C-alpha cells in the first residue's frame, strides 16, 4: 500500500524535552515527512496550531503547562 500521500501532511510536534523533539522529528524526516512544526511547550503548541493548521498533532500529555 502506497502511503506517500501522508508525507505532504503537516505535523505538529509538542514536547518540552528538546532531545525527544529532535529524535522524533529526525525519524519523521527520515521517513519522508517534510512539513514538521515544532513547539517546546503548550503555549507555543497552541499558537502553532492556530497559525499553522496542522493535519496531525503529536503532543506530550505530561507537559507542565
DSSP 8-state code for residue 62: T
- In eight-state DSSP terms, residue 12 is E
Grade residue 64 by pLDDT with cuts at 50, 70 and 90: confident
15/1 Cα distance (integer angstroms): 31
7 vs 43, more confident: 43
Q: What CA–CA distance (Å, rounded) separates 57 from 27? A: 15
Each residue of 11-53: pLDDT tens digit?
A: 999 999 999 999 999 999 999 999 999 999 999 999 999 999 9
| Domain spanning 9-59, CATH architecture | 3-Layer(aba) Sandwich (3.40)
Amino acid at each position: 500500500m502506497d502511503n506517500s500521500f501522508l508525507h505532504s501532511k503537516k505535523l505538529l510536534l509538542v514536547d518540552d524535552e528538546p532531545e525527544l523533539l529532535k529524535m522524533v522529528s529526525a525519524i519523521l524526516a527520515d521517513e519522508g515527512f517534510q512539513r514538521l512544526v515544532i513547539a517546546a511547550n503548550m503555549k507555543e503548541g497552541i499558537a502553532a496550531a492556530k497559525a499553522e493548521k496542522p493535519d496531525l498533532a503529536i503532543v506530550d500529555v505530561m507537559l507542565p503547562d
